Structure 1
Amino acid sequence: MWSPLQKRGEVGIPIEPIFRTDPKDYSEEEKAKLKVKGLKEDSIGIYTSFRDLSHDDLEKEVSLIAKSFGIYLEFNRDKMKLTNVKDWIYMIRVPIPGGGPIRPNQWRILDDISNKYTISDAYTGYPLPSLKLTTRQAVQFHHVKKKDLVNVIREIAQSGFLTLNGCGDNVRNTIACPLSKYYIFDSNSLAIKIANYFRLPTELFIQVFEIPVTENIPSEKSFEYADNLLPRKFKIGIAGVVRTTDGKYVIDNCVEIRANDIGVVPIIEEDKVVGYQIYVGGSMGENNSYPTFSAFGLPLGTVGSEDELIKVLDSLVKIQQEWGDRRNRHWARFKYVVYKMGLNWLRERVKEYSGISLGKVREVDLGWRDLHLGWIELGSKWAYGIFVENGRLIDGKNGKIKSMIRYIVDNFDNVRLYITPNQHLLITEIEEEQKEQIEKILREFNYGVRDGKPYTRLRVNSTACVGFPTCKLSFTDSERFLPKLIDELERRGWSDIPVSIGISGCVAQCSRPATHPISWVGSGYELYMLKIGGGKDSLGEPLIDWEENVIYLYQVPANRLVDVTEALFELYEKNKNLGESAEYVFRKLGNKKIIEWLKSNEKTKDLMKPHKFDKKIEGYREYHELLSKRLEEVA
């Protein structure tokens, strides 16, 4: 099919994935994972390393394994730039399947940990302490010091949550629509069941952090991880079902299931869930040094029951575990197995591994994407969705939100909290008689306004990942930059335009920016690449002139993003009759017309210099070629 060791300039650099990699070709990461036997043996001194305070970092092999424990070794990159001192810090991630429920006593523990251990630092650029909510419905603690690591993990465990599977080469936190459980499909409980099935072995984790064994650690049958775990991270998302104002049940794609390695969508007939459709091969991440690509998941087939679903999920993860590239991490995601080997091949492997023949692909509408904000009626009770800008729960310009949530959980023991897949926070189980009290609290803590003005449509619909200063993969700012970009766009009069913006500090694209009509991806320090045309049916892509084989707006300076974004807003306004959303408008116009518009616009014409970037263009060209082949197999 292809030669994995074809050369492109450099001897020995493979230009294609090496599936079923020979162990002699394993990467350093794979060899390190093998040493701990699938997180079952401490053969590299993990216990000792966490307690060795003679240095603030971790040994390389330990830092690789620590990811599966939910721990990232980082350093303050702002401080490094200014002082040339590598100030080692840690990010700790707590996976919460389906986003919850989080009981008040559990939230108090997490909030206390943030107050105690997330260090205030002049170099952070935002107020601390803080809690960071993620697009994968997890909680992150930033700026934790090594001396506090063991205590933080132990105190998190007291809440009933564990940090296992928070990071690393395993099945990550299973995400799901947080409100679907209140209608006809409990996606939350299914997410918890799947997460428990794919949880890593707990014995070594308990030993390293000296955690008392609790009933919260499941002991039922679970997935059998290989000694070197999975080739890369693996993400599963479950769409939900919500009811519209006219009483109709619709699929809620708040999780953006096609951005996951596996997406699960309930099939509804006569207001009942009668089965599940499975999507495979989604992933945002790419690599600028190789012809990689972002990809949307494709429909593989259907199953008729939850038991069949678990068996098929098991087989798909096993296929990735066996076939995924273990030499080249940039080609190790499941999407490359899916897109290069094909859907028919994958269906055959699923039958071989699970004994289940998948049913035919069904036509499913994934167009409804609810942010779950404001008041939501849930039968006799209510929920209120709190907008948390970029997931950073702090007391800042958007009100004293962190203190407000703490006040609510201290005074309303009946409520349950859920993190949404868009980094917001839901307060559920609110009684009718409590609504007025909640509204009063919102006002008292200045929720709903930024600098004295109500949150705008543009701000609420846009999102960013963490970026600088803590994410070591990030090229530049995202979380700290987007609010300032929105401020300026609002000042220019674009507050209520129905176009959202996604920003990521690097090509990992953790905030799923390419699912927005306009997205900016870090391509250097204070430089961003435009991706255009993302939405429910397609991912945003670089502004490529396919005939000239060049990219435009690959490295736009941070102070010029507002000009390009405004020019794109103007283009949308002139052509909004072409489609029902900005995604369709930009797709209908096509790259040629967008390039012509930006070349003729006074605000942007000086930026429109072609960039020759063969690897990036080659990756996306291959994606389109493979996508055409795979769509033929969908039928």
Structure 2
Amino acid sequence: MSQTLAPADRSRDLSQPVENLGPDERMKAASDQLRGTIQHSLIDPITGSVSDVDTKLLKFHGIYQQDDRDVRDERRRQKLEPAYQFMIRVRLPGGVCTPAQWLKLDELARSHGSEMLRLTTRQTFQFHWVLKDDLRPTLAGLHEVLLDTIAACGDDSRGVMCSVNPHLSALHAEVHELAQRASDRAIPRMRAYHEIWYGEERLASSGPEEPFYGATYMPRKFKIGFAIPPVNDIDVYTQDLGFIAIAGKDGLEGFNVAIGGGMGRTDQAPSTYPRLADVIGFVTPDNVPATCDAVMELQRDLGDRKDRAHARFKYTIDDRGLDWIKADIERRLGFKLDASRPYVFDSNRDTLGWQTGEDGHHHVTLLIENGRLANRPDRALMDGLRAIARIHDGTFRLTPNQNLTIAQISDAKRPEIERLLDEYRLLASAEGSALRLGSMACVALPTCGLAMAESERYLPSFVTRIETILGRHGLSDVPITLRISGCPNGCSRPYVAEIGLTGRAPGKYNLYLGGGFHGNRLNRMYLENAGEAAILDALDATLGHFARERGEHEHFGDFVIRAGYVKAVMAGRDFNS
């Protein structure tokens, strides 16, 4: 049983002296609770962009201003402003979407999003290529089906993730409900969102508009995820706060609590590094909301608000020490955490194709390479999924690996859905090497302003080249995790992959090897700023050695460490050593 402590005093002065705040913190404090001048920027007819400050504030509204980098140089030569457009990210806790919501998303993508949708690495949808004048109609359309984009970006609690395991129907439903509650509890109240996008009147209030977040919100983004063993599809150790479900014969018993994960880093800045979360104890389901409050509260109060590169929770933990942080979480909770309980992860990937859950419903998981939903000459993904949404009476579930599960299909509906899957060839791409089925990429060029190299557009052809190597060494059916990110920020979680690439410049990448197959170990740099030829040569050599000398059931990430290609990374601070 949890040991009771004296309850923490949760009151605090939400204002901070200006001299203790960095530029972005001062910007948030002066933004009138994220309103800024967004209303004015949206109606400015002179430009397709918004002001620099509003660009940052829009992130809290789930919107990124971007431009088409494929034409940036040409537009500069013509003395035109960049081809501005916006990315909109939907808040979708646990990645669960109804057919009605799917149909609305499809409609909005065809009207405003260049006739495509993207499934993200955090189980939600992104619209790209949205013009400024289309922002309000898109968000209004989402509102019609009870969707929004609040806190999908920005310094707040990002979209809450939840494992997708169709076999464990009842357990998934229970854990997803907790993920939904955690999301609803952690997002800002965002009156500015309702005023700007829905046209609601500003309400007078005697109390603080954001009683939890205050005027400066979180120091940086904060990520929460719920994993259901034996599948670590959400990469729980990369979350700021992770809950690992512990089930017994009578159902869900509670969660092991993991804290301090995070992928982002900066090249040439050894003080920044990825970090894996540490498991610090166990809580029962009824204590999950309080645990979310306590951990977020600690980071809100103690996270670095001067240096954004040092503002993630992982650095707060490493600066103060894990034992100190755990004790402070327990102080805020008012009780001690129980000892963590045993659990096992055996995979971090999706099981493609048909499955039947405990409840007798059928589920089919489709490979959506890079998460890109669009109609192609060989495979009309958008049209096929729209046709299924029109007759489906279950749910859709976006997986953390950018794939899609059509879930809760009844016996009566299965034949019709099978016919549509065949008609639109929606299962066709499940063919290919085990590497392709376990690969993932971020969006990167041409839309992401942070991208240094290609990722999403490059992955399919790059995998094809590696498949030639795998075939030559008899490894086509051996599961290996591959992640590519266009920059060091790591949105595709490359630093836990057995093979990870992060962009350095057009056509140049850092190559990392040795991540844990279950996402349980960071990898280490093997080649720096290398081109494709050098990367393929290195993979040919290491994969060939692996094929000749691997142990029974040994994974590639474990082998490259045993064989001495890289040293194991024991902690985030060791990543750059």
Say yes or no: does 1:173 pair with 2:153: no
Match of 1:408 in 2: 388
Match of 2:313 in 1: 334
Q: How does 1:428-447 map to 2 (within 5 A)?
A: 428-447=407-426
Counterpart of 1:231 (choices 194, 219, 242) is 219
RMSD: 2.5
Structure 2: 5+ residue stretches without partners:
1-14, 202-208
Q: CA deviation at 1:499?
A: 1.8
Contact 2:33–2:190 (8 Å) recurs in 1: no
The alignment partner of 1:77 has SS state of coil
1:566 to 1:271, Cα distance in 2 relative to 1, 3 A? farther
Aligned-pair identity in percent equals: 28
1:231 to 1:238, Cα distance in 2 relative to 1, 3 A? same
Match of 1:298 in 2: 278
Q: How does 1:78-477 map to 2 (within 5 A)?
A: 78-84=70-76, 86-100=82-96, 102-119=97-114, 129-179=115-165, 182-185=169-172, 186-210=174-198, 224-240=212-228, 250-291=229-270, 292-303=272-283, 305-378=284-357, 379-396=359-376, 399-412=379-392, 414-449=393-428, 454-477=431-454
Q: Separation in 1 of the partners of 2:574 and 2:557?
A: 22
Q: CA deviation at 1:270?
A: 3.1
Contact 2:109–2:117 (8 Å) recurs in 1: yes
Give the TM-score normalised by the residue count of structure 1: 0.81
Match of 2:6 in 1: none
Q: CA deviation at 1:154?
A: 1.3
Q: Separation in 2 of the partners of 1:576 and 1:528?
A: 27
Could you give the per-residue CA deviations for residues 575-634 of structure 1, whole angstroms, max 9, x where no partner exists? Answer: 32175211211222233699xxxxxxxxxxxxxxxxxxxxxx9x9655599xxxxxxxxx
Contact 1:199–1:223 (8 Å) recurs in 2: no
Counterpart of 1:71 (choices 56, 63, 67) is 63
1:48 to 1:581, Cα distance in 2 relative to 1, 3 A? same
Q: CA deviation at 1:559?
A: 5.0
Name the aligned partner's letter for residue 120 of structure 2.
T
Q: Separation in 2 of the partners of 1:432 and 1:229?
A: 48
Could you give the per-residue CA deviations for residues 519-566 of structure 1, whole angstroms, max 9, x where no partner exists? Answer: 1111122210011111222011212xxxxxxxxx11111454333333
1:170 to 1:399, Cα distance in 2 relative to 1, 3 A? same
Contact 1:476–1:505 (8 Å) recurs in 2: yes
Contact 1:295–1:335 (8 Å) recurs in 2: yes
Give the TM-score normalised by the residue count of structure 2: 0.88
Q: CA deviation at 1:107?
A: 0.8
Contact 2:27–2:53 (8 Å) recurs in 1: yes
Q: Separation in 2 of the partners of 1:559 and 1:211?
A: 54
Contact 2:349–2:438 (8 Å) recurs in 1: no
Counterpart of 2:547 (choices 569, 573, 576) is 573
1:375 to 1:60, Cα distance in 2 relative to 1, 3 A? same
Q: How does 1:10-89 map to 2 (within 5 A)?
A: 23-39=18-34, 42=35, 44-84=36-76, 86-89=82-85
Say how many residue pairs are matched. Answer: 541
The alignment partner of 2:254 has SS state of strand
Q: CA deviation at 1:22?
A: 6.2
1:330 to 1:148, Cα distance in 2 relative to 1, 3 A? same
Contact 1:99–1:419 (8 Å) recurs in 2: yes
Contact 1:157–1:211 (8 Å) recurs in 2: no
Q: How does 1:617-632 map to 2 (within 5 A)?
A: 622=574
Say yes or no: does 1:564 pair with 2:538: yes
Could you give the per-residue CA deviations for residues 501-529 of structure 1, whole angstroms, max 9, x where no partner exists? Answer: 11010111101122221111111222100
1:430 to 1:252, Cα distance in 2 relative to 1, 3 A? same
Name the aligned partner's letter for residue 210 of structure 1.
Y
Match of 2:3 in 1: none
Match of 2:7 in 1: none
Contact 2:226–2:234 (8 Å) recurs in 1: yes
The alignment partner of 1:554 has SS state of strand
1:136 to 1:49, Cα distance in 2 relative to 1, 3 A? same
Name the aligned partner's letter for residue 43 of structure 2.
R
Instruction: Compare 83-92 and 71-80 and name the one that shifted more.
Output: 83-92
The alignment partner of 1:480 has SS state of coil
Contact 1:347–1:357 (8 Å) recurs in 2: no
Match of 1:480 in 2: 457
Q: Separation in 1 of the partners of 2:364 and 2:157?
A: 30
1:275 to 1:446, Cα distance in 2 relative to 1, 3 A? closer
The alignment partner of 2:85 has SS state of strand
1:457 to 1:298, Cα distance in 2 relative to 1, 3 A? same
Q: CA deviation at 1:155?
A: 1.2
1:454 to 1:145, Cα distance in 2 relative to 1, 3 A? same
Q: CA deviation at 1:141?
A: 0.3
Contact 2:87–2:129 (8 Å) recurs in 1: yes
Name the aligned partner's letter for residue 128 of structure 2.
H
Say yes or no: does 1:498 pair with 2:494: no
The alignment partner of 2:564 has SS state of helix
Contact 2:48–2:84 (8 Å) recurs in 1: yes
Q: Separation in 2 of the partners of 1:542 and 1:256?
A: 20
Contact 1:53–1:146 (8 Å) recurs in 2: no
Name the aligned partner's letter for residue 152 of structure 1.
T
Q: CA deviation at 1:82?
A: 4.4
Match of 2:503 in 1: 522
Q: CA deviation at 1:208?
A: 0.6
Q: Separation in 2 of the partners of 1:356 and 1:398?
A: 58
Q: Separation in 2 of the partners of 1:22 and 1:585?
A: 52
Q: Separation in 1 of the partners of 2:480 and 2:239?
A: 23
The alignment partner of 2:528 has SS state of coil
The alignment partner of 1:475 has SS state of coil
Structure 1: 5+ residue stretches without partners:
1-19, 120-128, 214-220, 241-249, 544-552, 595-616, 626-635
1:212 to 1:376, Cα distance in 2 relative to 1, 3 A? farther
Name the aligned partner's letter for residue 141 of structure 1.
F
1:448 to 1:427, Cα distance in 2 relative to 1, 3 A? closer
Say yes or no: does 1:540 pair with 2:528: no
Q: Separation in 2 of the partners of 1:25 and 1:184?
A: 45
Q: Separation in 1 of the partners of 2:428 and 2:377?
A: 8
Name the aligned partner's letter for residue 536 of structure 2.
V
